Amino acid sequence: MHICHCVSREKMIFVCTGVIFVAQIQVTDLTFSYDGSPDDVLKDVTFSIDTDWKLGLIGRNGKGKTTLLNLFMGRYDYSGSISTGVGFDYFPYQVPETDLTETAVDLMEKWKPEVEQWQVLIQMNALKMDPECLYRPFGTLSYGERTRVMLAVLFAAENEFLLIDEPTNHLDSRARDIVKEFLASKKGFILVSHDRDLLDGVCDHVLVLNRATIEVQAGNFSSWWENKEKKDAFSLAENEKHLKEIGKLKTAADRTGRWAEKSEGTKIGFDPVKEHDRSIAARSFIGAKTKKMQARVKAVEKRIDREIGEKEGLLKDIEKVTDLKLQPLKFHKDLLINAYDLSLRYGDAGEELFSGLRFRVKNGERVILTGENGCGKSSVLKAVLQKLDLPGETADTGLSISGDLDVASGMTVSYVNQDTSFLSGSLREFSERRGLEESLFLAVLRQLDLGREQFAKNMEDFSEGQKKKVLIAASLITPANLYIWDEPLNFIDVFSRMQIEKLILQYEPTMLLVEHDVRFQEKVGTDIVRIQ
């Protein structure tokens, strides 16, 4: 492993004769694979970035985004070099179970010992946080509070290039907006996120791990995607043009080749009776003609090779957003769920999660529940499942229902849980337990870009994004009257999100779901219900 540090003056930003010099991070021929894996996660990667950029890191699940951040942190051995004049720090900080009883003030000493409390408090104010959160046991903070405390500590120091990995997972819409506004005011970081709204609102450059290449481009996700669609359309057109040209050349080469063979065959063995006007002297003429034809064949073959060479590589980075298939069932009743003045609480808790909630789900509608973390969105889904009394999905949660929650009986429901911790064993075992057709299940996983090499692994070794794809694939191939999905897109890459959006818009299944992705809400939701 080689980490080269640039000379100290490159760490500085200074003005000389009107020119601003900014430190760079130069990655050269970077190659890395995990122990025991025959495949390289990153191979011969070379790029450079400026340390004052707000850089979005984009790529499919499993392309090596988090791995790249860990390589910057020096956590793995690799070949190649990373040349930099700045230090790195990484979000999220690791908090083991044993540390959850400690306060954030105490944990700061482990995360970033050089920062002072006043520096963190300045960042907390920008993140619209109560300073009191610093002095509470970390385990008592919500996901949103933990995220913002960590970001406050992360940005409290100076002269660092910050590596931010999925900061909005499990955050509600309000917390996401706060984090977006905060990051938009900063610079000097890499942001790994699959949230298009966040990438567009924050980034001024993107680093893209394409299927076969690495790309650095100015702009945000949407500007990059627009350019990519134009580039892909041009590549497809060029590919089609080369294919047609190759076809024509092959036909010409075949025709000329057959002429040459036929001509060569007439040099000797002619019948003097049938060809009485032909003499032996004609052999030299025929030979010259044949040689000319053969030369023409070789010239055409060279052109074919050149066309094939120009064609190669045109499609290597094209993101094939493959069309998936959904098999929704039409229910015989139009109204599937009717909630009127609904209230929920757990056990004998005196305080209700919410009260007076009203919404309906009709055939073909896609109702999205939104609201702050802890307001009871997932509890509504559990209450619906409880009413349906589905085997395996209605464990005793102690959930008490007040008001009216009418759920049509006899429905077939497909449920995606936001929790993936229960996934273990092989994909074959999972498909057998769920009663899925294994070949179809694996085909959908491939369409969601789960690599074939993952099929031989146990699911506990999958990334969170890969685990979510298992649950979504299982749901997609289950014919159902109602699809209940609880935060399905956490950890799912942006290309798979677009696939799923397209699928839902095409087949119009009836859905009740919790999802915070603003773009997803805008595209697929027929009704958005906010829980106060």
Is the pLDDT score of 285 beyond 80?
no
pLDDT at residue 282, rounded to an integer:
53
Is the pLDDT score of 337 beyond 70?
yes
pLDDT at residue 18, rounded to an integer:
46
For the ranges 264-268, 454-458, 498-502, the lowest mean pLDDT is seen at 264-268
Residue 364 DSSP one-character state: T
pLDDT at residue 159, rounded to an integer:
87
* DSSP sequence for 151-183: HHHHTTSSSEEEEEE-TTTT--HHHHHHHHHHH
R_g over Cα of the chain:
31
pLDDT at residue 275, rounded to an integer:
53
pLDDT at residue 323, rounded to an integer:
61
State the fold for domain 2-220: Rossmann fold (3.40.50)
Is the pLDDT score of 304 beyond 90?
no
At 30, the pLDDT band (50, 70, 90 cuts) reads very high
- The average pLDDT across 194-203 equals 94
pLDDT in tens, 386-426: 888 765 555 556 788 899 999 999 999 999 988 898 999 99
pLDDT at residue 74, rounded to an integer:
93
pLDDT in tens, 33-91: 888 777 788 889 999 999 999 999 998 887 889 999 999 999 999 999 999 989 999 99
Which among 486, 493, 489 has a CA at the least distance from the CA of 518?
A: 489
Residue 6 DSSP one-character state: P
Q: What is the mean pLDDT of the chain?
A: 83
pLDDT at residue 256, rounded to an integer:
60
Domain ranges of the chain: 2-220, 228-311, 335-530
Distance CA(294)–CA(212), nearest Å, equals 39
pLDDT at residue 38, rounded to an integer:
73
pLDDT in tens, 357-389: 999 999 999 999 998 887 889 999 999 998 887
Sign (positive/negative) of CA torsion 422, 425, 426, 428?
negative
Is the pLDDT score of 179 beyond 90?
yes
Distance CA(158)–CA(188), nearest Å, equals 10
pLDDT at residue 288, rounded to an integer:
58
Is the pLDDT score of 326 beyond 60?
yes
- The average pLDDT across 310-326 equals 57
Residue 103 DSSP one-character state: B
pLDDT at residue 64, rounded to an integer:
87
Alpha helices of 312-376 — where are they, by DSSP H? none
CATH architecture of 335-530: 3-Layer(aba) Sandwich (3.40)
Residue 255 corresponds to which tokens in the numbers above? 């025709």
Do the domains 2-220 and 335-530 sit in the same CATH topology, yes or no? yes
pLDDT at residue 5, rounded to an integer:
37
At 126, the pLDDT band (50, 70, 90 cuts) reads very high
At 315, the pLDDT band (50, 70, 90 cuts) reads very low
